[in-house]
Structure formats: C-alpha cells, structure tokens
C-alpha cells in the first residue's frame, strides 16, 4: 500500500516540477515571447501530464500552470494582481482551457484502457468459444467412433461365435454335428481371420483415442489423402468380392486436417454401403481431388441410388433405405457423418453418372503454420 501511495505522490510531484521547469525556461525569454506562446507551451505540459499520469495529476498540473502563467507572464509580472482586463481574459481562458484539455486527455486515456480491457475480454470469450467448439467436436467424434465400434465388432464376433459353437457341437459325447478334418480346419481359419480383424480394428481404435487430443485442440499435422484412401480400400478387400473397384486420385494433393485412421474408417463404411446396395459385377469407384481449400473424396456405385427425399434421412442411426432386404444395422452413414463433421468436414449425397449413389466427403486442407497464426 505504501508503494502505491508513493507512486501516486511521485506523479503529482513530477507533474508540478515539469510545470515549474518549463515556466522557468520560458521566463528567461519573457521579453521576446508573447502570452500565446507561453500558454501553448504550458498546455502541452498539462496534456502530457494527463496522458501519462491521469486526470487528477493533470488537474494539479493545470492549477500550477495557471499560477505560473499569472505570476511570471501576465503583467504586472511577479505579482498575483492582473491590471489589464484583456490579460484577465487571457488568464481565465488559459485556466479553463488547461482544465478542459487535461480532463479530455485523461478521459481519452481512460477510454483507451477501457477499450483494451474489453478487447482482452472479447479475446478470452473467443478462446472459450473455440475450446467449447473443439470439445463439442471431440464428443461428436467419440460418439461416432463408439457407433463404429459396435457396428464393426458385431460381424466378426458373430462369425467367431458361430464357428466356436459349431466346433463345440461336433466334439464330445453329445455331438450333434459331424465334421471332418477339413470342416474343422475351415472353421478354425474363420476364427483366426476374424480374430485378426478384431485385433486390427481395436488397434485402430486405440490409435484414434490417442490422437483424439489433436482433434480437440486442432490437428497439428496434415494427413495424406493417399494414406486415407488406401487404408480404407485395403480394409474393404474382403467385402469387394464380386465387384470391381476403381480408384482415381489426383496427384500432389495437399495434406488434410483430419485423423487418418478415423477417415479411413469413414471411407470403409462408404465402400461397404456401395457394395451392399449395388448388384454383383458392378463397379465401385473411389476418387479424390482438390477443391479450393479442401479435398473431396467420393465413393460412387452403380446401384439404384438414393432418392432426394431420403438423402438426409439415411444419415439417421438405424435407418436403412433398403428396408430389411439388405443386411446391416443402419449405422454406416451415421458413423461417416459423425467422423467427418467432428473434424470440420462435410458429407454430401448426390447421384453418380450411371444413376447410382455418390457420397462425397469434403475435408479441409491443413493450413500452414504461418497462416494459422496470422
């Protein structure tokens, strides 16, 4: 507290001392300068005091300047008496001007500080909003990946359960199924393959969980579009039997602001849907190309397409446009939208050239570091 008091007293003392110094210097040239020049010089001291020290020191400065102006420069000099009415008007005008100028300058300084305070509050509000938006996207990605887990774990678990049940029923004293060595070998291979599939999937989910912090705080490194596409396509090889796959990817595509494992999961779901809803022997086309500050990744099929009226509804969980005629749980497109939108992307359904469905993912390009900080 004593330090604050000393600081305030120092401001008053320094302001008053500045007036005395300037007045002394001007008085040395008193025969050669007029009252207007003196008044302007003293007003500058008042304005400087208001700017650097605030309103109250400026008022003290204006009072000291008024006394100096009266005593040293208004005839008769070295007295407090003002003989000429014109000089009285000049003295009064200077006093009022000094007080008003000091008050205005101090007011401007207070407004400046208030503006700085409001700017800081606004910046903090923007940062809070950005954190809230990042948290919302992170939660959305969590929900989408949870759907993906339940969706993709069900099929291999069903296969493993069926194979193990069959093997158990073929063994022991109460066997109900007769299997030869080739049959048992086939079921064991199914268990082995589906177990590997589960292991790969779980590893991918662990990786997504580890990089989720990057999604919440902003993707720090770009993901290769080639990596995303080939990861999704390679994973979909087992479901592409009976279909022809065509991949068209532009060369030199920039990195995208997305987590590659989750985007590969989204692409796999699109390919899986294309296979389900298109006839055997048809072509599934995966393509990617630049589009301004984004990259578009699309999957086209040669099926019956999706009517315009249903292109929004198919993104709802558990909705299947094929009714009960197509296997599945109606989660594929819901998972895709959740993954893509959680990473600031968009999903759009259109019509392929051959009349089938075309689903396009628009993923933003990762901007360079200097662009993000500008």
Each residue of 147-164: pLDDT tens digit? 666 666 777 788 888 888
Q: Which of 126, 145, 176 is the last residue of a domain?
A: 126
Residues 233 and 122 in one domain: no
Judge whether residue 108 has pLDDT over 80. no
Determine if the peptide bond prior to 76 is cis (ω within 30°). Answer: yes
Q: Are 47 and 105 in contact (CB under 8 A)?
A: yes
In whole angstroms, what is the distance from residue 198 CA to residue 71 CA?
97
Task: Name the residue among 84, 40, 43, 89 with its Cα closest to residue 64.
Answer: 43
pLDDT digits (tens, 9 = 90+) for 21-55: 888 888 877 777 777 787 778 778 877 777 777 76
**Domain carrying residue 232:** 220-374
Q: Which of 126, 151, 169 is the last residue of a domain?
A: 126
For residues 298-305, give the mean pLDDT: 91
User: What does the mean pLDDT of the chain come to?
Assistant: 77
Q: Is residue 214 part of a domain?
A: no
Q: Is the C-alpha dihedral spanning 338, 343, 344, 346 positive or negative?
A: negative
Residues 238 and 365 in one domain: yes
Residues 240 and 366 in one domain: yes
Residues 251 and 372 in one domain: yes
Q: Is residue 194 part of a domain?
A: no
In CATH, what number is assigned to the domain containing residue 228? Answer: 3.30.565.10
User: Nearest 5°: phi and psi at 291?
Assistant: -150, 85
Residues 119 and 244 in one domain: no
- What pLDDT is stored for residue 73 in this prediction? 75
Q: Which of 73, 94, 126 is the last residue of a domain?
A: 126
Residues 110 and 251 in one domain: no
Number of folded domains that form the chain: 2
Judge whether residue 261 has pLDDT over 70. yes
Residues 224 and 370 in one domain: yes
Residue where the block lists tokens 């407090």 = 80
- What pLDDT is stored for residue 357 in this prediction? 92
Where does the pLDDT of residue 352 fall: very low under 50, low under 70, confident under 90, or very high at 90 and above?
confident
Residues 120 and 225 in one domain: no
Q: Is residue 323 part of a domain?
A: yes
Judge whether residue 302 has pLDDT over 80. yes
Q: Is residue 201 part of a domain?
A: no
């Amino acid at each position: 507290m004593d330090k604050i008091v000393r600081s305030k007293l120092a401001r008053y003392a320094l302001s008053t001392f500045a007036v005395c110094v300037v007045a002394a210097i001007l008085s040395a040239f008193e025969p050669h300068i007029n009252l207007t020049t003196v008044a302007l010089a003293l007003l500058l001291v008042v304005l400087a005091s208001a700017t650097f020290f605030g309103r109250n020191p400026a008022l003290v400065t204006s009072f000291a300047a008024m006394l100096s102006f009266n005593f040293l420069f208004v005839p008769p000099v070295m007295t407090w008496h003002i003989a000429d009415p014109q000089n009285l008007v000049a003295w009064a005008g200077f006093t009022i001007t000094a007080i008003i100028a000091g008050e205005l300058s101090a007011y401007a300084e207070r407004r400046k500080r208030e503006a700085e305070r409001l700017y800081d509050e606004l910046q903090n509000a923007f940062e809070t909003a950005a954190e809230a938006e990042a948290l919302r996207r992170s939660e959305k990605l969590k929900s989408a990946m949870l759907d993906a887990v339940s969706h993709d774990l069900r099929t291999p678990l069903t296969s493993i359960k069926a194979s193990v049940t069959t093997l158990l029923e073929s063994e022991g004293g109460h066997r109900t199924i007769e299997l030869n060595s080739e049959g048992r070998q086939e079921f064991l291979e199914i268990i082995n393959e589906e177990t590997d599939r589960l292991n790969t999937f779980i590893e991918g989910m662990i990786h997504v969980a580890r990089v989720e912090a990057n999604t919440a705080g902003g993707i720090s490194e770009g993901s290769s579009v080639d990596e995303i596409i080939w990861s999704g396509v390679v994973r979909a090889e087992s479901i592409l039997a009976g279909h022809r796959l065509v991949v068209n990817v532009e060369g030199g595509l920039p990195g995208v602001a997305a987590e590659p494992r989750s985007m590969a999961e989204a692409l796999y779901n699109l390919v899986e849907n294309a296979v389900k809803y298109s006839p055997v022997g048809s072509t599934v086309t995966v393509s990617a190309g630049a589009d301004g500050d984004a990259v578009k990744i699309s999957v086209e099929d040669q099926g019956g397409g999706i009517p315009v009226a249903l292109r929004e509804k198919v993104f709802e969980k558990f909705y299947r446009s094929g009714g009960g005629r197509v296997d599945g749980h109606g989660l594929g497109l819901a998972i895709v939208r959740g993954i893509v939108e959680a990473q600031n992307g968009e999903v759009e359904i259109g019509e392929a050239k051959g009349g089938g469905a075309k689903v396009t993912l628009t993923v933003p390009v990762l901007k360079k570091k200097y662009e993000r900080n500008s």
